[in-house]
Structure 1
C-alpha cells in the first residue's frame, strides 16, 4: 500500500512540477488529467443538491480513493506482486472508515433529521421505532456489501488465473507432443482471463468509488432527494 501511494505521488509530482504541466501534455500528464476530469464529472453528476464549491470539499477524498484502488488493482496484475484488495480486511477497513466519515457528514448537514432516511412519511407513529431499527441494519451493511464485492471480484479472478496457469505449466512440463498441442487451449484461456482481469481491476475501482458518491449523496440529501435526483437524471437521458 505504501508502494502504491509512493508511485502515485511520484507520478503527480513529475506531472505537476514547476507549477504545472506542459502546454502540450505527454502521455503521463494526459493520464493524470483524464483521471482528474473523470472523477470531477463523477462527483458533479452523483452528488446533487450542493453548489460546486461545496462539492469540491469531497472531491479530494474521492479522487485519492479511486486513484489508490486503480493503481493497487493494476499492481496486483504484475507477476509475483501482492494484491491488497483481494483481502477482505483491507477492503472492509477502507470502506468502513469512509462510511463513518459519510455518516458524520450526514449528521453535520441534517442533524438528527438524518435518521429520517429510514422512516417514510406515511408510516404510523407506533410502527416508527421498529422501522427505524429495520432500516438501520441494511444501512450499516452497505459498507459490508461493498467491501465483499471488491474483495470477491479481485480474489475470484486472481484465483482463476492462478489455477489455469498452474494447469498450463503442468501440461507444458509433460514432455509429450499431445500435451504440448493440447496446452494451447488453456494458454489462450489464461491470456483471455488476464485481459479480463485488467478490465475488472479498472471497473472495480470505478464501482467502489461511485458507490461512495451514492452513499454521500444519500447522506447529504437523504433518500427522498436522492430518488428525485435519479429520476431527473433519467428524464434528462431519455430526453
Structure 2
C-alpha cells in the first residue's frame, strides 16, 4: 500500500484565498492574513462580551481579567510606576500574540506567528514605537544611550558601533525567537503524528508500537500550549525592558 507522506512544513504554506494585485504587486488575501484577522476579531468580541455587566462574572470575563492582571503585573515588575501609561500596549500585544499562538493549536487552522513576516512586523512596530517614546522624553540626548558611561574617548567609535548594532538587532531577536519556537514546535508535532500514522498503517507489531509516537504527540501538544503562552509572555517582557531603557536610558 502506498502511503502519501506530506512534508511537516506543508502546514506553513501560504495559500492565497483571493487573487488581487495593484501595479504588479501581489496583495492577495492569504490564509495567514485570514487567521491573523480572525484572531483580532475573536479577541475584540471577547473583550466586548466581557465588558458587559454581570451579577456573577462569567468564565470569559474572569479570563480577560486574569490576562489584564497578568499584563499589569509584568509592567509593574519590569518598568515600575512609570510604565502604567504603557499598560494598554503591553496588554494588547500580549493578548494578540497569545490568541494567534493558540489559534494555531486548532486542527486545520493556521498559526500566523509561525511566519517571520508577521513576527517581524510586530517587532518592528514595537521598535518604532519605543524609539518615538525615547525621543519624546529625551530628545537628542537619547543618543547618549549608545555610549557607555566612563568609556575612553578613543574607544568611543567601537563602543557606539557595537551598541547601535545590538540595539537594532533587537528587532531580529524579537521576531526570530517567536517565529522559530512556533515553527519548530508545530513541525515536530507533524513529524511525530506522521510517524505514528505510518506505524499504525503498517499493521502487526509495528502497529502496536505506534502507541509511543502517538503518546508523544499528546505530551508535546500540552508542551506546545505552554510554549504558546510562554512566547507571548517573553515577547511582552522584552518590550517592557526596551521601554524601560527608552524611559530611563539605562
TM-score of the two chains, using structure 2 as the length reference = 0.83
Q: Cα RMSD between the aligned structures?
A: 1.3
- The whole-number CA distance in structure 2 between the counterparts of 1:57 and 1:2 is 26
Moved more, 69-78 or 56-65: 56-65
The answer as to 2:103 corresponding to 1:71 is no
Matching residue within 87, 108, 127 for 1:59:
87
1:237 maps to none
2:71 maps to 39
1:4 maps to 39
Unaligned runs of 5+ in 2: 1-35
Per-residue Cα deviation, 1:100-122 (whole angstroms, up to 9, x for no partner): 11011111111122111221221
Q: CA deviation at 1:126?
A: 3.3
The answer as to 2:59 corresponding to 1:27 is yes
Native 8 Å contact 2:113 2:182 kept in 1: yes
1:137 maps to 165
1:180 maps to 207
Regions of 4+ moved over 6 Å: none
Matching of residues 96-111 of structure 1 within 5 Å:
96-111=124-139
Unaligned runs of 5+ in 1: 224-239
1:229 maps to none
- The whole-number CA distance in structure 1 between the counterparts of 2:80 and 2:92 is 21
- The whole-number CA distance in structure 2 between the counterparts of 1:197 and 1:108 is 39
- The whole-number CA distance in structure 2 between the counterparts of 1:3 and 1:37 is 24
Structure with higher RCO (Cα < 8 A, 6+ apart): 1
**DSSP-derived class of the 1:173 partner:** helix
Q: Which has the higher helix share?
A: 1
TM-score of the two chains, using structure 1 as the length reference = 0.86
Per-residue Cα deviation, 1:10-65 (whole angstroms, up to 9, x for no partner): 11111113xxx324212111101000111112112211362xxxx33311111111
Native 8 Å contact 2:130 2:243 kept in 1: yes
Native 8 Å contact 1:150 1:208 kept in 2: yes
Count how many residue pairs are aligned between Structure 1 and Structure 2.
Answer: 215
